[in-house]
Amino acid sequence: MQQKKQGFTLVEMAIVIVIMGLIAGTILSTLSSRMENTKIETTRTLMDNIQRALNTFMVRHHRLPCPANPDLSPDKAEYGLEQRGANTCNNMVIKVTKTSNIDYIGILPWRTLHLKESAAIDAWKRRFTYRVNYQGVKDNAMQAPKIAGDEFEGAIRIYKDSTATMPVNTEKYIYLVMSHGKNGYGAYLPNGTKMPVAKGDNEKENIDINNFKYIDADYSSNENNPFDDILFYYSGDQILIDLMHKGESTIKSKDEQLRQIFNEMQDTIYVAALADMIDPDGTAECVSKTKSKKLSLSYSFSPGYGSGCINKVNKGCCQQYPTTSGCCEQYPEVCVITAPSPATGVSGYCGAKSLGTCTGKCINILRSVRHSIPSVDQLITRIDPWGSEIVYIPDNKASSDSTGIDVGVYSNAAEVLYMLVSCGKDKSCTTTSIGPCSGDDVCILMKKATMVSKLSESGTGVD
């Protein structure tokens, strides 16, 4: 007898269907997750390309572009172009103002950056939001010293979530580019329409145009407070590093800027000293063209000018061979001279051997050409990279106004002629006199010996 074949029972079929459903659900969930991750990575790659395009624009134009108008449709002439006015952005983009700071918000100006339109749309087919500080769009904003000084500082602050009272760091960012993620809350579509407002506080903060606060939180699918925005943001220092890596010669670090300013000020001081040809005790002149007797001095010079009749800095007249107190022996080719002492205001005489008529050049041994350095009010003020005036501290025996006579590099100036002081990042100078540098001040000094050597090498005349 033949036995009938039995099929699956309804229960068995139900179990199979449930199992297949679970497997399919798992596969679909995995595929969906992978597709979403791919879109995130695609969007990040697009943002990397945008960053490079912005850097290239900065190198070429020495500024950042203004945003494009997000409300325009593709048939408009200004579609995708920066909205720029006279040295700033125009009123076709959103303007955010707080105290003295201004940001401009719109979409990425892909045509101005010479990008394809597809490069300005994220993986969910929405525009990238672009926000920039007013200082970044000014003419030549990216040229030294602006870029590395504290005056080139943005206003955008980054927080971990909307409830945070402190930002994640101390940086104030110049510009920001943002994708509004999968949910797209607050994003603009290519046709100029805007997506619905965000549901949660974190994403609401990122489309709030009333402040400078942005949220860069971890991904969240929480229905009440979702977060899938993708952001990148740049500070002045980050821009500086990128542009220096690209070999942009007009960009300098703060240290390099300060070094250049110091060098320029030192050159100015040296040129002033070189040009100061005032002879405090007058032009040398012969007082006798006949044989003269050996004379004795009736007074002594003040300290710092040499004892007796010898200026020990100068070997042109006497070869520094004093025979008795207050007298000197001179070679026959040197004339007997007279001049007032700057210290006492009286005339002094240096004796000479009775060796016949004076035939050589007359040389004034009492004081050399002073070559004084500028006084504080004579030196043009310079600003350091942090926005403070460079402090100039001269030795009072080396500098003077145009009428001073008891001064100069060759006088009794101190070992250090002057110091230049930058107040540093805290903008508060604690170094107020020639000596050690204090606090975060940055100092440079000029020694008398160095200046004398430079003046001598230049061939400048001194008595």
CATH number for the domain harbouring residue 270: 3.30.700
User: DSSP secondary-structure letter at 267?
Assistant: H
Q: Which domain holds residue 53?
A: 43-245
Give the up-direction half-sphere exposure of residue 171: CA atoms within 13 A in the CB hemisphere. 16
| DSSP H/E element including 112 | none
Same domain? 405 vs 288: no
Task: Assess contact for 259 and 422: CB atoms under 8 A.
Answer: no
Nearest to residue 287, comparing CAs of 224, 244, 337, 240? Answer: 337
How many structural domains comprise the chain? 3
Q: Is residue 18 part of a domain?
A: no
Average pLDDT of 114-142? Answer: 91
What is the structure's pLDDT at 105? Answer: 95
Residues 178 and 55 in one domain: yes
Task: Give the number of other Cβ atoms within 10 Å of residue 124's Cβ.
Answer: 19
Asked whether residue 347 falls in the same domain as residue 428, the answer is no
* 9 belongs to a structural domain: no
- Mark whether 223 and 323 lie in a shared domain: no
| Assigned domain for 412 exists | yes
Q: Is 24 part of any domain?
A: no
In a domain, 274, yes or no: yes
Asked if pLDDT for residue 9 goes beyond 80, the answer is no
Segment 95-107 mean pLDDT: 88
Give per-residue pLDDT as tens, 245-296.
Answer: 665 555 566 777 888 899 999 999 998 888 877 665 454 443 333 333 332 2
**Whether residue 78 is found in the same domain as residue 161:** yes
1's tokens: 């007898």
**pLDDT digit string (tens) for 27-60?**
666 666 777 889 999 999 999 999 999 988 988 8
Instruction: Measure the CA–CA gap between 405 and 442, rounded to whole angstroms.
Output: 32
Q: 221 and 335 share a domain?
A: no
Model confidence at 365, in pLDDT bands (50, 70, 90)? very low
Q: Is the peptide bond before 145 cis (omega within 30 degrees of 0)?
A: yes
Q: Is 114 exposed, middle or buried (0-12, 13-18, 19+ CB in 10 A)?
A: exposed
Asked which of 366, 393, 416 is the last residue of a domain, the reply is 366
Does residue 216 share a domain with residue 118?
yes
Residues 274 and 285 in one domain: no
* Axis crossing angle, helix 448-457 with helix 254-275, rounded to the nearest 10: 60
Q: Are 202 and 271 in a shared domain?
A: no
Catalogue the E-assigned strands of 297-451. 338-340, 347-349, 391-394, 416-422, 442-447
Same domain, 205 and 259: no
d(CA 357, CA 188): 100
* Per-residue model confidence (pLDDT) at position 440: 84
Instruction: Identify whether residues 240 and 291 lie together within a single domain.
Output: no
- Asked if residue 36 belongs to a domain, the reply is no
Residue 10 lies in a domain: no
Give the model's confidence band at 341: pLDDT under 50 very low, under 70 low, under 90 confident, else very high: very low
Residue of 134, 96, 233, 95 whose CA lies nearest to 176: 233
For the residues of 401-434, what is the DSSP string, one character each? -TT--S-STTSS--SEEEEEEE-TTTT-----SS
Largest pairwise CA distance in the chain:
166
Same domain, 231 and 156: yes
